[in-house]
Structure 1
Amino acid sequence: MSRPQLIPGPDHPITVTPSDVRVVVRSGEHVVADTTNALALQESTYPVAYYVPLEDVDQKLLQRTDHSTYCPFKGDASYYSVVTPEGTVDNAVWSYETPYEAVAPIAKRVAFYTDRLEVTVVSVT
């Protein structure tokens, strides 16, 4: 089965830019990620999603799941749960491991659901 691959444009713009913010992600008292190297992905009218380099994530807290989704603009997304001694937050982290060319800079980065984890974004300028 062939999936459509769409190119961002005036009707559905997507930009990926370096951000001048610090992104800290927590699950309870545990810091899942802390970075000043996030990329800001702005897609159409959706809220900005910050993509954090994997090296700035405590990967010991991540557990890959079988869940996946498809975006015709970005490609296939893989998911991770966050596992701490206090519990598991299912499918709270996603990654486009081999994203489409239009959003290629988000490869080897992850983003976080802000309704499942505490994501703090603070300007560093």
Structure 2
Amino acid sequence: MMVLYGVAALALCMLSGTIVGELLGLALGIDANVGGVGFAMIMLIFATAWLRKKGKFPKATEQGVLFWSAMYIPIVIAMASIQNVATAITGGPMAILAGLGALVAGAALVPVLSRIGERSEPLPPMTEEELQEA
């Protein structure tokens, strides 16, 4: 049952993020959702951190959020596939330059981000109690 609460939290953040993205697109005069999925993920991070701090984020609820977090990349790819790529390419080289710029910046940041933090020991195996909760 608690897993459903995690999925519900994710759905609420996704709905809120979509609304914010649509409103931002409207404010900018663009007929598109501007960053809705990104806003949703940021809201989810803040909501789960707040719930953990308050002690109201049970392990089973966290499993529901973690399941959909693992699905994040395929969801983003599916959402991106509905965009009109042909129009973006024929509309000018700016779309291609922006995509290549993001690719180069992301590739350049991989080594930098991998050095953040200290090396740690791997997590211990799950106990029988943790396996039953999952």
TM-score when normalising by structure 1: 0.24
Q: Which structure's residues are more often strand, by fraction?
A: 1
Q: Which structure's residues are more often helix, by fraction?
A: 2
TM-score when normalising by structure 2: 0.23
Q: Which has the larger radius of gyration?
A: 2
